Chains A and B, each alone.
Chain A
Amino acid sequence: MEALHSARKGGGTLAAGDVSEQLGKGPCLVPRYITANQGVMPCVHSARDMRGFKEVAMKRFGAFLLAGLLLLSVSIANAAEPIKIGAFYSLSGPAAAIGTPTKLVTEMVVEKINKEGGINGRPIELVLGDTESEPTKAVMVAKKFINVDKVAAIIGPDRTDLGMAVKKLIEEAGVPTFMCVGGDPVIMGGGPLGTFKWVFKSPQRSSVAVETLYGHLQKNNVKKIALITASDGFGKDGKGWLEKLAPKFGLTIVADESFNPKDTDMTAQLSKISAAKPEGIVCWTIGPAGAIVAKNVKQLNIQTPLFQCHGLPDPKYVELAGAASDGNKMPSTKLMAWEQLPDTDPQKKVIKDFIHLYNDVYHHDKQFPINAHSGYAWDAIYIVANAMKKAGTDPEKLREAIEQTKDYVGISGIYNLTPEDHNGLGTDSMIIVGIDKGKWHLAK
């Protein structure tokens, strides 16, 4: 209902004045939106979320004005060229529910960086694109970023197959790209996967999530597990690691089922699993299918504990699975139970600030409550921005600077990147969270 409500509010046509007002301010340090008059095909670069845009514009018009005036002097003094960063996510198509909040966070962090003085005084100019959850479209957007907008760096996309689709192009063009995809092949080299010189990713490797979960299972004396995984890229990637790492943690896989992420009923698979009598069921999927699995487990009266993957820690999950989510456990970034972290944890403060900004200043939580993924785009952009501060926008230097990122305390973990490790997160970045009567808590 809330979504309905806010959509009505923001759904009117965008007054032309809103745009010109911002553009009229010259090199302003709020994210610059490009209008559609630049070339034969006014394309993806003009994509922007009207609703979010208008909300931002209306709600904090005063703040804008003030910031604008304050920063006007800075920008006049520097006459600084903005630095263009391209960001593309699935704003439509089946993955839109993941891509849209990622975009909101992206806009939020860019605004924050610009307010804090940008990259050594130069503002970041965000160019947005929509992959439509489609590999071919993702390639088109990436080509546009590289050839039309000539961006200094790219953030996104948000899904493994989209990431893979643009990887070759990015490696050839040599543009530092920080992806927010779950799957590891984007930063794996060799064979048909090619190189990964220019591609980074901010979410934990699937293997890290699996290790975190398996560590937990080992600690709790679980020996026999059953897998039920989605037949999409994310699910298959997870399944591979689950099978590969099981022996290392003394686990036997007694059943192995899969489902189409769009399916609405998995009782058939779960009945088979139940017959194999596992001590734990591990489900690997992103999206509503995970909630359906939980519901089906309950429906079939299966008493075996259900473990989900790191893709599901999300208030939505509790909402969708309802009572069936009770007792589920899953690996997660620390976002889901940050309040229970010891105060010594260096991430606690960063996360607190982020959540304050997200919930209290921007109110994005009304539409997309904080979940385990909320910080990925934030971390990606901050790492790139920090590297830019050190090395400027020369691609080669920028890439090296990113690779030298050490001890960056981010929302999703503490990043230590190297030329070999383009992710930089270990098992220490993850926790196991459990759900108790709809509340998330740190699990033992």
Chain B
Amino acid sequence: MAQFIVSGLTTGSIYALIALGFCIIHNATGIVNFTQVDFVSLGGLMMYTFLLGMGLPLVLAFAVAVLVVAGVGALVERFAIRPAKSRAVIILIFITIGVSILMRGTFKILWGKNQMALPHFSSESPLIIFRAAVLPQSLWILSITLIVVILLHLFFTRTRVGKAMRATSFNSRAAALMGVNVNRMIQFSFALSGALGAVAGIIIVPITTLSYDIGVMLGLKGFAAAVLGGYGNSVGAVIGGLTLGVLESLGAGMISSAYKDVIAFTILVAVLFVKPSGILGYGEKERV
């Protein structure tokens, strides 16, 4: 049991980080950004290049990889979202799906179709905590997620830009009247969710493996987590991510490993039926 919960929290943290990325862009633009899944892949791939290809030290490689992906996020906004002639949500969402295909095609050529591996951040020998074997990397994942969530919280509540981003997502017209450059805030939110995706990719890859499309499944689950938590709600995203991770793990361990995704998704869909806006979501306002 303890083992299942530890595994669940580990993967759940990853889902949570990805879900946060989905939320930030949703709050800025109202869309689901499917390139989030590629931010995750790209994070891992960049880490691979900087750490193993160029031999940068771990911390530096981590930082540079995150920055590069954040930059890519900003570029996606600038060259795919901003020039779009239609502001319809569904069109923008499918633009991100198209960009996602394009990005994956590019990764495939740059990094090849092979699987790759990244070393753990520290020792690979497990520790025994509460009768559960825990990899140091899991501890890294949990603590980095915690740190990221705290930093994110501080960013949004303590910094000028963070507050401006929040203001923009609540009321972009009013924010513009305060002199906030709304376009830049949207671009910034893409960069930020790129960074979040990259962190998720970088920290999970050592315990899984790396390939050009590693983010797809993780990203899909991250999307599910975001919806479960109440789309657009950051606290919900974290709760949704951890819940989904633990549900999956418990489902696999206690009921059936073959049907664990069915269990997780059935619960997800059931939650939506009972509470159509997710665990912490606000109901959608009907426009009259």
| Direct A/B contact, Cβ within 8 angstroms | yes
* CB of A418 within 8 Å of the partner chain: no
* CB of A55 within 8 Å of the partner chain: no
Which of A231, A265, A322 sits near B124, CB closer than 8 Å?
A322
* CB of B63 within 8 Å of the partner chain: no
Contact residues in B for A77 (Cβ distance below 8 Å): none
Contact residues in A for B6 (Cβ distance below 8 Å): 267
Contacting pair A288 B209 (CB below 8 A): yes
* CB of A264 within 8 Å of the partner chain: yes
Contact residues in A for B250 (Cβ distance below 8 Å): 268
Contact residues in A for B258 (Cβ distance below 8 Å): 231, 258
Contact residues in B for A38 (Cβ distance below 8 Å): none
Contacting pair A268 B53 (CB below 8 A): no
Segment with Cβ contacts to A, from B113-121, B167-175, B265-273: B113-121
Contact residues in A for B217 (Cβ distance below 8 Å): 262-264
* CB of A298 within 8 Å of the partner chain: yes
Q: What separation, in Å, do the CA atoms of A176 and B132 have in the docked complex?
A: 55
Which residue, of B217, B250, B257, has the highest number of chain A Cβ atoms within 10 A? B257
Contact residues in B for A262 (Cβ distance below 8 Å): 217
Q: Which single residue of chain B is at the shortest CB-CB distance from A260? A: B261
Contact residues in A for B209 (Cβ distance below 8 Å): 288, 291-292, 320
* CB of A11 within 8 Å of the partner chain: yes
Contacting pair B208 A268 (CB below 8 A): no
Contacting pair A267 B208 (CB below 8 A): no
Q: Which single residue of chain A is at the shortest CB-CB distance from B127? A: A301
Contact A269-B114, Cβ < 8 Å, known A7-B109, A288-B208, A299-B126: no
A318-347 contacts to B, CB under 8 A, are 319-324
A366-420 contacts to B, CB under 8 A, are 367-368
The distance from the CB of A253 to the nearest CB of chain B, in whole angstroms, is 15
Contact A287-B115, Cβ < 8 Å, known A1-B49, A4-B53, A323-B124: yes
B51-80 contacts to A, CB under 8 A, are 52-54
Which of A4, A92, A94, A271 sits near B111, CB closer than 8 Å?
A4
Contact residues in B for A316 (Cβ distance below 8 Å): 114-115
Contact residues in B for A287 (Cβ distance below 8 Å): 115
- B binding-site residues for A, Cβ under 8 Å: 3-4, 6-7, 10-11, 48-49, 52-54, 108-117, 119, 124, 126, 128, 133, 135, 204, 207-209, 211, 213, 217-218, 249-250, 252-253, 257-258, 260-261
Question: 20 A-B residue contacts at CB 8 Å?
Answer: A1-B52, A1-B54, A3-B111, A96-B108, A97-B211, A263-B217, A264-B208, A265-B208, A267-B4, A267-B6, A272-B253, A295-B207, A299-B126, A299-B207, A300-B133, A316-B114, A319-B115, A320-B116, A322-B124, A324-B124
